[in-house]
Structure formats: C-alpha cells, structure tokens
Amino acid sequence: MTVSRPPAAPTEARPEAPRGVLRLKLLFAAGSAVFVATMALLPVYVTGDASDYLAMQQALAHHGTPDLRPEDLASGSGLLLAVGFEAHRRATFGGDPGTLHAFPARSGAVYCSHFWLYPLLTLPARSLLVVLGGSELASFQMTNAALMCVALYAVLFLWRAPGVRRLGFAGLAAAGPALLYLRWMSPEV
C-alpha cells in the first residue's frame, strides 16, 4: 500500500537582490573598510571631553567596568603624552579624577558623568590597534567613521525611499558638517 502525501504548501520565494545591488554593497563595504582604516592613519584630534571618554575606554578595557581607577588615569595620561598632548594631559589627567567630569559614588568608586556606551563601542577598534601596534587614541575616529558608514548603509540600502532621494540624503550626510567631527574623540557625529 502506498501512502500519498498531501501536496506541499507553496513557499514564498524570497526575491533575490539583483547582481548590481550586490556589487554596490560589496563596493560600499570595501570603500567603508578603506575609509575606517584611513582614519587610523590620520593625526588624532584631542578636544572637548576627549579625556573623559578616553578614561572610560581605559576603564572598560582594563577591568570591564566604567568606574575610573588610578591605573585607568595613568594609561590615559600616557597615551596623550605619547602623541604630544602634554597640556591637555596635564589639565585633565593630573592623577586626580576630580580633574575629569567625574564624581564619586556612595560605594567610593569614581564614575564619569558621560554615558559609557560610546567608549564601549570603541573597544573593538582599540583592540585591533593594540594588536597592530597603532595608537589606541585613533580608535575613537575609527569608530566614528564606522558609525558614519553604518548610517550611510542604512540610508542607501535599507531605506525604502526612491533612489534619487536616498542618494541625495546620503550625499548631504557624507559631505555635511558631521564629516568635520569624525576625528573628534567624542560622539558628536
């Protein structure tokens, strides 16, 4: 006796992206990789709250928590000194967390007044730079460039607006004022 199976339910075929779109995505990914890598080679621009973000990055890298400890301040100070930012280092990393925008908690731990997510996002670039022997300070501008590329990818490939509108918006964003802030060690981008 043969058992007949009911006919299979039709499955919705997922539309495949045209080859041209896949090529554009690969080209965009390659260009983004070159752009982010180039940011590692540019001189570091230390300004504003850079010391706060650097101290939090060092804390997260050293012990996985955002509380600022003396070794975090010492390593941040050394990084700034190594690239010639003596005045900024002296003004903000005098070894006293009070020179940063930092405040003690009831537990005695010292925390920066800024949010820790941005320094956390810089850790992959920092790790790569440590392995390759680059300046850890460049991790901030590399992260800013990577975040800009993610935003441009979303506009170009995920937004469902007409192509002309997507290109126009991406062009304005890429050539606009945000480009001036990519080298800052803070999340102004």
pLDDT (average), residues 152-179: 92
CA-angle at 125, arms to 119 and 41, nearest 5°? 115
| 187 pLDDT above the threshold of 60 | yes
Q: Which of 51, 52, 76, 50 is nearest to 62 (CA)?
A: 76
Q: What is the mean pLDDT of the chain?
A: 84
pLDDT of the residue at 97? 46
Q: How far apart are CA 149 and CA 78, in angstroms?
A: 31
pTM over 0.75: yes
Please enumerate in sequence order all residues whose Cβ is within 8 A of that of 77, keeping only pairs 6 or more positions apart, or say none: 89, 93, 95
Give φ, ψ of 111 to 5 degrees.
-125, 145
pLDDT (average), residues 134-138: 92
Neighbours of 127 (CB within 10 A): 13
pLDDT of the residue at 6? 67
Whether 75 and 87 have beta carbons less than 8 Å apart is answered as: no
The residue whose two tokens read 């460039």 is 145
Whether 58 and 76 have beta carbons less than 8 Å apart is answered as: yes
| 101 pLDDT above the threshold of 90 | no
Q: How far apart are CA 109 and CA 125, in angstroms?
A: 27
